[in-house]
Amino acid sequence: MVNLDPAVLTPLLGVLAGCVLGFVARSNHFCTLSALERHWYAGDSSALRTWVLASVSALIGTQLLVAFGMADTAASFYLSPEFAWTGAILGGFMFGIGMALVGTCGFGAVLRLGGGSLRALVVLTVIGLSALAAQRGIVGIVRVPIVDDLAVSFTASGSQSMGDIVSTLVGMKLQGVVAIVLALAGLFWIFKSASYRRQWSKIGTGVVIGSVIAFGWWATTFLAGRSFDPIQIEAGSFVVPVGDTIMQLITYTGTLPDYGVGLIAGTLVGAVVAAMWKRDIRWEACDDARELGRHLLGGTLMGVGGVFSMGCTVGQGITGFSTLAISAPIVMVSMALGARVGLAWLVEGNVLAAFQRNQGSAHHSAAE
């Protein structure tokens, strides 16, 4: 593997990781919005625990790699000293509403496309084009003054890592301690449910998905250190790489795709294989113009919101969190709030219902 060109290996390893990610996620119905919906409306937190387990597993795996010098997350954009807090809040909220309108996020859309959903193809196309517009197009004109120019700089700590920030405030290096505390808190909440401790397939799903993200950090770090050309150190996101995939398809100039594009392609392949294995492939399209309009709007909000917040549910909630980026919890809270508002409007016909405690969830929490 070392003797091969790193520029060739980069997308290939992305495809490999994506195949595992797509197969496991599609086979076990891993979906952020579905997890939140079941928690809010059915009082069932098992899917949400699996999602948190994926995030915690990515955190543990990544921080171990960092500790042993096998992953350089400090070189990623997640740990830039410049923290665009308005983008994290506004972009996350926009993404959450878009997720509710569509019924899934960018990652979920790739999984659905693997099962034959033409609606997902529409959503992914809109996400990609909207992301490009927000990143380097006309929407970028708006992004600069309301996101980039209002960024807070963590110059004292050197990065926006929660570990570095706490270390700077206390006056001693506590990066590992912060990671351990967050991991233990997450694991305590996950496994305090006696019923969840018996759901081995869901536990395995969370661990595998988190491990794939940690693998991405190792793979891109490994290849970046052996390449004469710059290789972006990354692990997984499903907004900007969707736009990059579109650009690769329509403007190929001989430049090989990066790890993120490979991950998108591999996730789709893995999802197709899982759908075939489960005999769950069927063509699906929008029922009417109203549904199509909702998907177009939702895709636009996710594309633009994902660029503003520098990630999606996977990109910030799992990948960003694995680096201890302070943006990750802020973005995820904003996304959850946006999703709750969007679902309240769609399901209950009243946005204010988003701020009322759900009886099913309250009853389930009390029972646990």
pLDDT in tens, the chain (368 residues): 446 789 899 999 999 999 999 999 999 999 999 999 999 999 999 999 999 999 999 999 999 999 999 999 999 999 999 999 999 999 999 999 999 999 999 999 999 999 999 999 999 999 999 999 999 999 999 999 999 999 999 989 999 999 999 999 999 999 999 999 999 999 999 999 999 999 999 999 999 999 999 999 999 999 999 888 899 999 999 999 999 999 999 987 788 999 999 999 999 999 999 999 999 999 999 989 999 999 999 999 999 999 999 999 999 999 999 999 999 999 999 999 999 999 999 987 777 766 776 645 544 443 44
- Is residue 62 within 8 A of residue 217, CB to CB? The reply is yes
Token pair 């009417």 is found at: 288
pLDDT at residue 347 in the model: 82
CA distance 155 to 169: 13
CA distance 93 to 87: 9
Tally of CA atoms within 13 A in the half-sphere of 328 that contains its CB: 27
Which residues of the chain form beta strands (DSSP E)? 82-83, 152-153
How far does Cα 22 stand from its chain's mean position?
Answer: 13
- Is residue 309 within 8 A of residue 334, CB to CB? The reply is yes
Contacts of 80 (CB under 8 A, 6+ apart): 159, 160
CA distance 138 to 303: 13
CA distance 109 to 86: 26
- Is residue 73 within 8 A of residue 323, CB to CB? The reply is yes
**C-alpha distance across the termini of the chain, in Å:** 49
pLDDT at residue 212 in the model: 98
The dihedral through the CA atoms of 29, 211, 240, 343 has a sign that is: positive
Instruction: Tell me the pTM.
Output: 0.93
